Amino acid sequence: MSKDKRLYFRSNRPDSKALSFYAEQSTVLLKDRNGYYLEFADVTIKKIYRKVLLHEIGHCVAPIHKGGWSPAYEEN
């Protein structure tokens, strides 16, 4: 997230999965010379960080509940 409260994506338009992740906080996709972005109000930035943090923690917890790391993480 930049200081101007914008979340920039790559120069390509983000797919619907990426946009749906942020749909509760911002639904207007805009574009400028730096690429596509979503703009957020101050009150929603905390919610976004919380959601992303919980999402990333889920990546760490999920392998434990599945009985170990997924094959992609196992050492051969």
In this predicted structure, the answer to whether residue 19 has a pLDDT above a threshold of 70 is yes
Closest CA to 12 of 38, 27, 31: 31
**pLDDT score, position 26:** 81
**pLDDT score, position 76:** 45
Closest CA to 3 of 42, 54, 53, 44: 42
Cα separations (Å) of 70 from 6, 34, 55, 57?
34, 37, 17, 16
pLDDT tens, position by position, 41-59:
877 777 778 888 888 888 8
The average confidence (pLDDT) of the chain is: 78
Give CA–CA dist 58/35, Å, rounded: 29
Closest CA to 22 of 54, 45, 2: 45
In this predicted structure, the answer to whether residue 73 has a pLDDT above a threshold of 60 is no
